Chains A and B, each alone.
Chain A
Amino acid sequence: MRKVILLLLLLCFTAHTRGKLHSPPAKPGLTSCRSPEKETFTCWWKPGSDGGLPTTHALYYRKESSETVYECPDYHTAGENSCFFNKNDTSIWVNYNITVVATNALGRAFSDPVEIDVVYIVKPNPPEKVTVTVMEDKGWPFLRVSWEPPHKADTRSGWITLIYELRVKLEEEIDWEMHLAGQQKMFNIFSLRSGGKYLVEVRCKPDHGFWSEWSSTSYIKVPDYFHREKSTWILITVFSTFTFLILMWLLHMNRHNLKHCILPPVPGPKIKGFDKQLLKNGKSNQIFSALVVPDFPPATSSNYEDFQVEYLEVYVRREQELVLEESKDLHNSCLKSESSTSDCDSGRGSCDSHTLLMAKCREAKEGERQTDRECSPMRTEAQRRLKDWEEEALNYAHAGIVSLEMSSGRVKTWPSVFSPLPRYSSSPLDQQSSLQMAKQLSLSTSSYLTQPGHSTKEALGQSYWDLCLSSKQPHLLNPPTPVCRELQAHSDVNISSIGHKRAPAGPRSPALHTTEYVEVQRVDNKDTLLLQPVVQGCGRMGGCFQMPHGEVYSKVKGVDSDNVLLLQREGMGEDSCHKSCTVSTTQKPSGCIYTAVPVRDEMATMANGYVDTATMCTLHTC
């Protein structure tokens, strides 16, 4: 038993040592079939293991729609394990069924059949005679690549149509730049680096087939054209330098404008009569003296025309607030108003005069009522108005005080002050209204302006009240004059009485702020401060006399014994007297204004002065 096993093992071993076991060959495989020009083609196969025995391979093919099997005509032309089909054996547009058979002593093996149509297996040879030249186009170089189709491919007869592709790269680069050239046999390459060495290759392909291999590399060196680039840079530099220089020159020419733009000049002081140089160089005394307006206060009492005009702001209270206090006593109100504290050092430099305000409001009210009335019953009217005015003054004064007490700020009173005035002013002035206004104004200002005698205007001692016209303008005294006179007398009395009443009052505080502007005409020989109502913006000229939009102006007639400044509504009174007597109420204010002009001029001939309420105020104990 043991011997049998040993023998078998020996046999096996010897069989193994003798070599591989003989077996039929393994199945070969067709790797590819290719045609270079669509006229011939070659097939290659890969043999399998030969099974230890010499193996032969044979290729058999069968054409389409024919059962005849043919064997490969040429095994050698294309090399080993290949089969070459020449022109006679090649049929285009015919399916070939090709099989490779491996045969050895023990058996044969068939490869898988492969169907091919020669049209679809065309892979041409690479293009030939590739030439690359450097050419110039307007000073810039470019490469011209030209080639020829592979000599085997018959493109001339139209049998094959080839399309070409080339690739370019610099010697030191890795990536190729591909260019498809189509059917043309020439190509230009631009955008070259100066002094670079380029590699060029070309390949081709039939319209339905495979790409050929790349042709052999062609080398080309591009000449240096750096100097041309340099010249461009020089040009650019010069141009930019020129531009820069021009810009600088332009800036230099306009440096003043630029300076103004970037660093705007500090505006200098714009105070009239302010001397900058003096401020810079002068001593403090000089500066302060310079600050003081030279013509103010008026030194002489003779020529008021030289005086600068400043305006006394007189505020008239609103009607509504005044209505509340109709029954109060004027005297009390006046006292109260005077005693109440108020800030007369307001920014505006003017102090409120509540009595004045009230008077103005009342007058405005009256003015409204009188708009449609005629002026024939003037005397009675005037008298009535006077009484009304007295009441109103009382009311106003009281209301003013109340309002002052009530309101915390002055601002409240101002609008009220202004509102009635326009109405008043827009209506044609008539004697009564102006009279009343004048009276009120005088009253209020008198109440306000009362001082212990510091003001130069105070010491006049006049206690009369010339309402309509002053005696200085006799030509304007017309029929209305006696009426005015009478009224004047009345008013004088009233005023004086009022003034006296108020005399024992304590220090009057200019609690009431006035918002009316008064232009002091002059101080006459009787020490009367003549205030001229001034229209805002016109007063200086004296020629234009429009109704003040919200302000009423009066002329200081004098200061009574109690240091009460009596205001005289000279201009207004004249105006109103004249107009109301001679002109109907329907006449336009402009007409009235016009007639008042000569009056104005006449008055203007007098010395102009003004009441600086601020100074008055400061003098008075507030």
Chain B
Amino acid sequence: MPGNIRSVSFAWMVLVYLLFCSRRASVGAAPICANAQAGCHVLSLANLFDRVIQHSARTHSISNDLHSEFEQYFLPSKNHIGRVSRNCHTSSILTPNGKDNAQRMAREELTEVILKLLVAWRDPLWHFHQNMAHHHDFNNFSSNKALEMSDMVHELRKGVEKVAEKMQVLGIISNTVSSLASPEASLPSDSAEWRLMKDYNLLSCFRRDSNKVQNYLKILKCRIVPEHGC
């Protein structure tokens, strides 16, 4: 018996060690080199932009699906749409509503707007997912989508921050964007607004905002690195 225990514990230790090592290895590959050091795999700005744009496209697609699902099952009559108040909590954030406006906006401003939007949606989406999980009317698929949406927004924000960092490093934009590192400061003061919105409202608002984010990113990309697919 003691021999067995010893062998088992030894096996466990080996396993744990291996896992730890693998984790270390994977973590080691993750960070992108900021200073373009030798032997470090540097992602180009265009590559980074492509990644974040893909991410935002995915986010928007999920939000679109959820919105249409909502519309289909919970709001069959079209009239109901009109009656819903469209007060998104992000309406305080100033966003360009046209191509000219967007193009006229400075890169830093645009990047800031994107980050503001993404930061503003982190908590509401999390709570929305919680609501969905407890709501018996939703199936697991929708609940999973909501969770995925929430995670993606989080990832997207990180990605955009990285892009901003890269742009600052390359001197494309000034360093004013870095002040967004503390998102809490830029949140609208009446953060309790979003709690008043109903789920449908929330979804339609987010659908629009994700589209905005995607569009702004594309504009940024074609303005900064136009040679790739613009």
Contact = CB atoms under 8 A, between A and B. Distances in A.
A39 B103 CA distance: 13
Most buried by B among A65, A90, A97, A161: A161
Interface residues of A, number: 26
Interface string B201-222: 0000000100110010011111
Interface stretch (A113-121, A173-181, A335-343): A113-121
A161 to B, nearest CB: 7
A158 B215 CA distance: 7
DSSP class of A's interface residues: helix, strand, loop or mixed?
A: loop
Contacts of B86: 64-65, 95
Contact of B98 (A87, A113, A161): A87
Given A39-B98, A91-B98, A207-B57, A157 B82 contact: no
A32 B100 CA distance: 25
A234 B98 CA distance: 66
Contact of A65 (B91, B211, B219): B91
Contacts of A94: 97
A411 B218 CA distance: 107
B205 to A, nearest CB: 10
A39 B99 contact: yes
Contacts of A115: 81-82
B94 interface: no
Contacts of A90: 98
B95 A158 contact: no
A157 B219 contact: yes
B211 A161 contact: no
B41 interface: no
A578 interface: no
A156 B223 CA distance: 9
B219 to A, nearest CB: 5
A370 B177 CA distance: 124
Contacts of B219: 157-159
Given A117-B208, A207-B57, A157 B100 contact: no
Given A91-B97, A92-B98, A207-B57, A159 B211 contact: no
B218 A159 contact: yes
Contacts of B223: 157-158
Nearest to B97: A91
B112 to A, nearest CB: 18
B87 interface: yes
A93 interface: yes
A154 B226 CA distance: 13
Nearest to A113: B82
Contacts of B5: none
Given A158-B220, A158-B230, A159-B215, 4 more contacts: A39-B99, A97-B82, A117-B208, A156-B222
A156 B226 CA distance: 8
A618 to B, nearest CB: 90
B103 to A, nearest CB: 6
A182 to B, nearest CB: 10
B64 interface: yes
Interface of A: 38-39, 64-65, 87, 90-95, 97, 113, 115, 117, 119, 154-159, 161, 183, 207-208
A181 to B, nearest CB: 14
Interface residues of B, number: 28
B229 interface: yes
A560 B204 CA distance: 136
11 contacts: A87-B98, A91-B98, A93-B95, A93-B97, A97-B82, A157-B103, A157-B222, A158-B222, A158-B223, A159-B219, A208-B60
Contacts of A97: 82
A91 B226 CA distance: 25
B83 to A, nearest CB: 11
B211 to A, nearest CB: 6
Top 4 nearest A-B pairs by Cβ distance? A158-B222, A158-B218, A91-B97, A159-B99
B98 A208 contact: no
Nearest to B98: A92
A154 B220 CA distance: 14
Contacts of A87: 98, 100
B98 A158 contact: no
B211 A208 contact: yes
Contacts of A65: 86-87, 91
Contacts of B99: 38-39, 92, 154, 157, 159
B229 A183 contact: yes
A64 B205 CA distance: 12
Nearest to A94: B97
A251 B150 CA distance: 77
B221 A158 contact: yes
A66 B218 CA distance: 29
B60 to A, nearest CB: 8
B212 to A, nearest CB: 6
B211 A93 contact: yes
A154 B91 CA distance: 27
Contacts of A95: 86
Interface string B98-121: 111011000000000000000000
A62 to B, nearest CB: 10
A158 B230 CA distance: 6
A93 B91 contact: no
A183 to B, nearest CB: 6
Given A119-B211, A208-B64, A155 B98 contact: no
Nearest to A117: B208
Contacts of A158: 215, 218-223, 230
A290 B79 CA distance: 123
A320 B60 CA distance: 105
B230 A156 contact: yes
A210 B82 CA distance: 23
A424 B208 CA distance: 114
A116 to B, nearest CB: 11
Nearest to B212: A93
A157 B226 CA distance: 8
Nearest to B49: A158
A93 B208 contact: yes
A129 to B, nearest CB: 19
A97 B83 CA distance: 11
A115 B87 CA distance: 15
Nearest to B96: A92
A94 to B, nearest CB: 6
A504 to B, nearest CB: 100
A386 to B, nearest CB: 84
Nearest to B103: A157
Interface in B106-147: none
A329 to B, nearest CB: 89
A155 to B, nearest CB: 7
Nearest to B226: A156
A38 B212 CA distance: 13
A155 B219 CA distance: 10
A112 to B, nearest CB: 8
